[in-house]
Amino acid sequence: MDAEKILASLSTATDETEFYAPMPAGYRPGKTKYVIVFGTVMSGLGKGIFSSTLAKCLKDKGLTVAPIKLEGYLNVDSGTLNPYRHGEVFVLDDGMETDMDLGTYERMLDQNLSRLNFATSGQIFTRVLEKERKGSYLGRDVQMIPHVTGEVKIKLRELAVATDADVVFVEVGGTVGDVENTYYIEAVRELAFEEGPDSCCFVALTYIINPAMLGEQKSKAAQLGIRGLLAAGIQPHIIACRGREPVTRKVREKLAIYSNVPVERMFSMHDCESIYLIPDMIRGAGLDEAVLKILNIETRVHPEADLGARKTWSEFVGRIRSARKHVRIGVMGKYTSVRDSYASIIHALEHAGTATDAHVEIEWVDTTDLTDERAEQELGGLHGIIVPGGFGVRGAEGKIAAIRYAREHQVPYLGLCYGFQMAVIEYARHVCGLADANSTEIDPDTPHPVVDILPEQKQIEGLGGNMRLGGRDVLIKPGTLAAKLFNNAPEVRLRFRHRYEVDPKYINILEKGGLVFSGKAPDYPIMQILELPPSVHPYFVGTQAHPEFQSRPLRPQPMFLGLVKAALERAERLAGKPAGAAVESSPAPTLA
């Protein structure tokens, strides 16, 4: 039976047919192609980086691309995952809490994604069980095949319809052989069968081991991983080989023999100074052209668009390599041992540094044991300070100590979410005279709850249920630093992931003390951006939002760009001082 007949068959498996190919309204077979990326040997090798980069190369050619990450865990979203175990939680504009790879896709493709671009086993099984309860399967016993795999296929096709994509890029989480992603692999095998020839391009990302005691690259683990993929019915078209050094032709030839993939389609994805160099590596290897040929979509390419996009990207990469200035930014956190916990901050600083001809060196400071007494020793050599988002009590007082040091010693400061709240607490305590001011998250019995859960949020039950998530409009106060950063736009859109707010009862006290709330929610007394006037501090900004989620390589987020510029000015001032010269402290404004 050919693909057209299969797709025209009944969308519900009955006693008359075993085919189960549910089609969303408006789906046009053959219009959308699929690139599916699998991992072998081990996780964490960069499937998202490779997939997003290859997608960028096709987008640059004028094609419409749409990525999706298929996660094996049973969580419905990533919101309750520990950053130590899974890296940062990335929040989309529509409020979906996702895997950090969605951030990689948004940055590389420079496009906002939605909940359609992310799926977990929890989501898939929930949809299947809801249909079962409604009787949608017409009395059939509900099984992994065809019903669960069918739900995966309709998820992919729904994305194709919603985005009108030429190519959907599917990243299958985990590695081949994991129990939890087995049905994903089966689903995309079925998808390729149903869609017909030239419909799918399968990519295996594997790892080439280079044991120090042997002094040569070994491919056996990669061979076994690819064998597992072949056993699942997937013949890869392309193999991306991860490793510290460029993968030798000898190793690629050996892999070709075991995988039936030509050597020309064995891509060496070795370590490089920035992931933003990988697009040129892919183009240099001809992988983008190979994908077009495999999917038979060469005629959809717009050469003029490709030339313009490549020129712009080449200039950006050139700035990364030619950065002449140097600046040190300290990130104050409690997950500093796992860099993926702050992936978007790292990239936002890289974007801002590239735009200012600077290399940004990040100094990681664990605030668990940081105190006012140790602040000079720990922070004295920094040109800028960031207090990122977070939850809970541990490390909070250390963050407050860091903020106080930044405020009193004229160190450029950017507070993100929790860092915004801690800045409010620090200012209330040390400037406004509200001793023991705190957040009720940290101290429920604080005499001055300057940060609290607002009444309407308290009525929402469940962990994560009372979170403000996703994009929100923010009104910008004219004449402020925030207005300058956002080019005097009266309103901007930022992304949020928080539960606590500045208590409106304390806004007047804080403002009388000199704190400026330069951004607020349009319809409620909810403060979203704070700052100190330039006459008091060179750069002291906090936001309840997570602006790091919106930074792009060619469009650095304004708050990060402002921080790096201010840090560069501080670096220049310090460089002009004699060794051991003291850094001036700023007198704190006092209440009238």
Q: How far apart are CA 340 and CA 29, in angstroms?
A: 38
Q: Is 426 among the catalytic positions?
A: no
The DSSP code for 209 is B
Scan for tokens 């980086």, then name that residue.
49
What's the full length of the chain, in residues? 592
Selecting among 200, 201, 417, 432, the annotated active-site residue is 417
CB 66 within 8 A of CB 159: yes
Phi/psi for 165 (5° steps) reads -75, 145
- β-bridge pairing 384-387 and 527-531: unpaired
* Sequence-distant (≥ 6) Cβ neighbours of residue 289 within 8 angstroms: none
Which pairing describes strands 238-243 and 200-207: parallel, antiparallel, or unpaired? parallel
Helix (H) or strand (E) holding 108: helix 101-109
Cα torsion for 329, 333, 338, 341, to the nearest 10°?
-90
Relative to beta strand 384-387, strand 358-366 is: unpaired
- Dihedral sign for Cα atoms in the order 101, 280, 260, 254: negative
How far is the CA of 209 from the CAs of 45, 218, 239, in angstroms? 12, 5, 15
The dihedrals phi and psi of 384, each to the nearest 5 degrees, come to: -165, 160
C-alpha to C-alpha distance for 439 and 397, rounded to whole angstroms = 11
d(CA 423, CA 418): 9
| Nearest by Cα to 566 from 360, 305, 260, 397 | 360
The Cα–Cα gap between 90 and 469 comes to: 11
**532 burial class (0-12, 13-18, 19+ CB within 10 angstroms)?**
buried
Provide the token pair at 243: 């490793």
Q: How far apart are CA 240 and CA 282, in angstroms?
A: 10
- Tell me the Ramachandran region of residue 169: left when phi exceeds 0, alpha when psi lies from -120 to 50, beta otherwise: beta
* Backbone conformation region of residue 235, classed left if phi is above 0, alpha if psi is from -120 to 50, else beta: beta
Q: d(Cα 157, Cα 24) in Å, to the nearest integer?
A: 7
CB of 495 closer than 8 Å to CB of 546: yes
Please confirm, yes or no, whether 361 is among the known catalytic residues: no
291, 201 contact by CB (below 8 A) = yes
241 carries an active-site annotation: no
Which of 323, 410, 395 is closest to 359 using CA atoms? 323
Cis upstream peptide for 146 (omega within 30°)? yes
Q: Catalytic residue numbers?
A: 417, 546, 548
